[in-house]
Amino acid sequence: MTHSQDVTNLATAQRRLALTLTAAMSAIYFGFILLVAWDKPLLGTLLAPGLSLGTLLGALVIVSAWILVWIYVRWANAHYDSTVASLRKDR
Amino acid sequence: MPSALGAPNPVAIGFFFLFISVTLGITWWAARRTKTAEHFYAAGRSVTGLQNGFALAGDYMSAASFLGIAGLVATSGFDGLIYSIGFLVGWPIVMFLIAEPLRNLGKYTFSDVVAYRLEGTSVRVAAAIGTLAVVSFYLIAQMVGAGNLIRLLFGLSYEKAVVLVGGVMLLYVLFGGMIATTWVQIVKAVLLLTGASILAGLVLLQFHMNPLELFAAAAAKYGDKVLAPGQLVSNPFEAVSLGLALMFGTAGLPHILMRFYTVPDARTARTSVSYAIVLIGFFYLLTFILGFGAMVIVGRETIQGIDKGGNMAAPLLAEALGGTGFLGFICAVAFATILAVVAGLTLSGAAALSHDLWVSVVRKGSAPEREQLLVARGATVALAVLSIILGIAFKGQNVAFMVGLAFAIAASANFPALVLSVFWKPFTTRGAQASMIVGTLSAVILIGLSPTIQVQMLGRPSAYFPLANPGLVTIPLSFVVGIVVSLLAPEKRAADGFAGLQKQLHLGGD
């Protein structure tokens, strides 16, 4: 395989993961927002004294953002960086 | 208990002068190191990942977040969380799509990236217009926040307060450039996170360190509805529109984007986003506690009695829990918060004027170092004066809301062009221009026709455009215009340049 083909493959892999994670974040966030807009009583349901479903889901959206970023960073540190390093050597 | 807010507070004034002396000391130190345009705009690319993480957080956690969202939670409960989450979820997008390309493809501004394989001149003019529109709206929000805050804190007049903030910020940016701005942001982020953590800790101490007891107390005082979505998001279109603007706007804010040029490489850019997102997420969880704390401990009536928008919730809470001394500390922190954000904004606006418009367009990319610095500093002075004038002109607007408008423009004018230029091969110069111009104009026009301007400001019975935030229309519109214009007239040179762009994007180096 040629060097430029390797770069293209790396670019494709990075783009696929970046767009998948972006889609995941959008789905989680807009799912939450649409629930807020359409079913306010549901989100107001109290699961425990002081804890509404809306508050719980909201906190989970923040945690999910952290998890998605962690997935990306783990992939980048484990695979992306080493491929970049070897491609840089050969250019 | 009558509040000491608005009366001269010796502790606040002490902290205030301490902060100003320390940051001006930093500025003096930075000024001696600011010899080239690369120092002025990008701190010599020597900022570490941890430092840049704090500086990004410092750039982003504005007074609108700290005071505005705490106030929104205090006055309307759950609804404030919708804003907090929106401000956070933009950061993963920055990480996945923006941070690394920006560092590897650009020099000082985001239009460097858009212009990488396109015809520079015309793209940069469009990008500069988008940047300046975002910077202006965001600056208005910050200056209005500053004016209100300092008036309430020290009894200083609104106008004097705005002039004071503009003046100190001018000193940082004019002399210390990005090096001083970075350190002001780091100091501010540490102060703000410390202050907010202590305050949240003091709140939770009264509820056995259990946030749920706090929320339950709020529900007992004002009804279960404070834990449920309320009036802020009344129709689904409005909700999604606001959400789109907050999410993609973050990835189009020029002062945030510019920070990725201050680190040595793409890997450090990535690391810095990881730190930033943890700090910012933590901060927004704190504001939720602070808002409910203020609701229960201070009471809505008192908060709204002092400021109808609720912006004084956090300072009043600090006074109730830690006395006048702690109030003084929190006030000084809020002041530092505003200063750091306006410094970052002004620097990014100055970069658009001087690097994009003067050096790249007027001088065709070659201007002596001395001239670049001179123009950058001239632009800084002009923007500082403009921000003071706008701050005074827009007296009396709700700050969190104005920030939402700035995000709509960032998401519609900057984000689509940035993403298309990096990820979509057929993108052309005309496509980029059209996308950015349509994004900026449509956002500004629809905001002009929105209920915010038509009903709330002009007092008309109805608005021409139904949504307060235009993101739902303007973001897709900007993407579609960019794509259609590119497909109608393909540009061979731009498409041929895509392979080179990919190589530079991933392999970096100079």
How is B420-475 classified by DSSP, letter by letter?
Answer: HHHH-TT--HHHHHHHHHHHHHHHHHHHHHSHIIIIIIT--SS-SSS-SS-HHHHH
pLDDT over threshold 90, residue B156: no
User: B85, A58: Cβ pair inside 8 Å?
Assistant: yes
Element (H, E) at B146: helix B120-154
Measured in Å, how far apart are chain B's first and last C-alpha atoms?
Answer: 62
> What does the pLDDT average to over B250-266?
94
Question: Is residue B361 within 8 Å of residue B390, measured between CB atoms?
Answer: no
pLDDT tens-place string over residues B112-121: 999 999 987 8
Question: Is residue B145 within 8 Å of residue B311, measured between CB atoms?
Answer: yes
Phi and psi torsions of B402, nearest 5°: -65, -35
- pLDDT computed for residue B306 by the predictor: 84
Domain boundaries, chain A: 3-90
- pLDDT computed for residue B399 by the predictor: 55
pLDDT tens-place string over residues B318-374: 999 998 889 888 888 888 888 899 999 999 999 999 999 998 888 888 889 899 999
User: A40, B228: Cβ pair inside 8 Å?
Assistant: yes
C-alpha B331 chain-centroid distance:
20
CA distance B317 to B197: 13
- pLDDT computed for residue A18 by the predictor: 95
Q: What residue type is B304 in one-letter code?
A: Q
Q: What residue type is B406 in one-letter code?
A: A
- B27: tokens are 């500025």
- B136: tokens are 């202006």
In the CATH scheme, what is the code of domain B10-414? 1.20.1730.10
User: B277, A66: Cβ pair inside 8 Å?
Assistant: yes
Q: Spell out the residues 6+ positions from residue B502 whose beta carbon is closer than 8 angstroms to its own.
A: A7, A8, A11
Judged on CB neighbours under 10 Å (0-12, 13-18, 19+), B159 is middle
- pLDDT computed for residue B332 by the predictor: 86
> What does the pLDDT average to over B302-323?
88
Task: Please tell me if residue A57 touches chain B, with a CB cutoff of 8 Å.
Answer: no
Q: How confident is the model at residue B510 (pLDDT cuts 50, 70, 90)?
A: low
Question: Is residue A48 within 8 Å of residue B269, measured between CB atoms?
Answer: no
CA distance A8 to chain B (A): 7
pLDDT tens-place string over residues B51-90: 999 999 999 998 777 888 899 899 989 988 888 898 899 9
pLDDT tens-place string over residues B463-476: 899 988 899 999 99
Q: What 8-state DSSP symbol labels residue B225? A: G
- pLDDT computed for residue B2 by the predictor: 60
Q: How confident is the model at residue B404 (pLDDT cuts 50, 70, 90)?
A: confident
> What does the pLDDT average to over B286-294?
95
Measured between CA atoms, the residue of chain B closest to residue A81 is B267
Task: Please tell me if residue A13 touches chain B, with a CB cutoff of 8 Å.
Answer: no
> What does the pLDDT average to over B193-197?
95
- pLDDT computed for residue B13 by the predictor: 82
pLDDT over threshold 60, residue B400: no
pLDDT over threshold 70, residue B219: yes
Q: Is the dihedral of CA B64, B70, B71, B77 positive or negative?
A: positive
C-alpha A35 chain-centroid distance:
20
> What does the pLDDT average to over B283-308?
92
User: B270, A33: Cβ pair inside 8 Å?
Assistant: no
Q: How far is CA B483 from CA A9, A20, B252, B322, B472, in A?
A: 24, 21, 18, 56, 17
How is A23-61 classified by DSSP, letter by letter?
Answer: HHHHHHHHHHHHHHHH-HHHHT-EEETTEEHHHHHHHHH
- A25: tokens are 């974040």
Question: Is residue B456 within 8 Å of residue B398, measured between CB atoms?
Answer: no
Report the share of chain B in percent with pLDDT over 90. 63
Domain boundaries, chain B: 10-414
> What does the pLDDT average to over B12-32?
91
- ipTM higher than threshold 0.85: yes
Q: What 8-state DSSP symbol labels residue B44? A: G
Residues 227-246 of B with CB under 8 A from A: 227-230, 233, 235-236, 238-240, 243
Q: What residue type is B51 in one-letter code?
A: Q
Torsion angle in degrees (nearest 10) through CA of B416, B420, B423, B425? 170
Report the share of chain B in percent with pLDDT over 70. 97
- pLDDT computed for residue B257 by the predictor: 95
Please state, as a whole number, how many other Cβ atoms lie within 10 Å of the Cβ of residue B491: 19
CA distance B116 to B122: 12
- pLDDT computed for residue B253 by the predictor: 94
